[in-house]
Amino acid sequence: MKLGAVIITMGNRPDELRALLDSVAAQDGDRIEVVVVGNGAPVPDLPAGVRTVELPENLGIPGGRNAGIEAFGPSGAEVDALLFLDDDGLLPNRDTAELCRRAFEADPRLGILTFRITDPDTGTTQRRHVPRLRAADPLRSSRVTTFLGGANAVRTKVLAEVGPLPEEFFYAHEETDLAWRALDAGWMIDYRADLVLHHPTTAPSRHTVYHRMVARNRVWLARRNLPAPLIPLYLGVWLLLTLVRRPSPPALKAWFGGFREGWSTPCGPRRPMKWRTVWRLTRLGRPPVI
């Protein structure tokens, strides 16, 4: 299989970006074609052979990654699968690309691989980086229902069939939107503990827009993808979970603002998943009500 890689950057981590590119170039097997997208920022000096795309404005994470996909032709058609990697990540093992190739070749219905993210200093994996409800053991690989945005590989046939990431989302839940559409089309998603990306431990709330975007996009995710009877159930569960977690008053205010925004603004096309997909998600351990 021919692999490509898409990396988006704001141009503010040139040393980390160079280290990531070096780790991609060091992968065993055939050369990986790389596109670096400057998301509203100029791209720093890069090694020879790395393609670049400079966007005049920040299109958000899904918009930036979609621009990287299109740099490989419509839906990334020049390659068989694309790696999506955070610009401050690093592939510590040289066999990651080969493991991806073997996994896709062995299972024609495997559409997405999601990697295990570990802190480079402590070796720990944050619970939120294990994309399943039973997340206590990050070393256990399994079939899952979503994936990690900056540490994954996607078969380009999936993008051609179900479309790209939802640019309207800008940040948060864009991976789950694509995952649900892929699962509804019959593709599968695997979490692979042996595919490792080093990434410093961070809190998602470091982004100033976090609470508003998480709430707004959660509503959009439900409106776009869920059968009508499940929408209030799914959003009701997440409302209760948010209250139980007792965010600070400013965070809660931002969350409710985003929740209202999710109902009052366009969310893109609605394509509710089939009920058999609901059952598949349930069998995989994550029914689409949580």
Domain membership flag for residue 276: no
Distance CA 79, CA 4 (A): 6
What DSSP designation does 90 have? B
Q: What is the pLDDT of residue 204?
A: 72
- How many structural domains are present in the chain? 2
Q: Can you give the pLDDT at residue 206?
A: 55
Reference 180, options 262, 286, 70, 63; nearest CA is: 286
Q: Are residues 59 and 131 in the same domain?
A: yes
Distance, CA of 205 to CA of 208 (rounded, Å): 7
Residues of the chain with pLDDT under 70: 205-208
Q: What is the SS3 assignment for 186? A: coil
Distance CA 148, CA 176 (A): 9
Say whether 163 sits in a helix, a strand or coil: coil
pLDDT in tens, 214-262: 999 999 999 999 999 999 999 999 999 999 999 899 999 999 999 999 9
Residue-range definition of the domain harbouring residue 225: 209-270
Helix 230-244 crosses helix 249-264 at what angle (to 10 degrees)?
Answer: 170
Query: 144 and 109, same structural domain?
Result: yes
**Are 104 and 179 contacting, i.e. CB atoms less than 8 angstroms apart?**
no
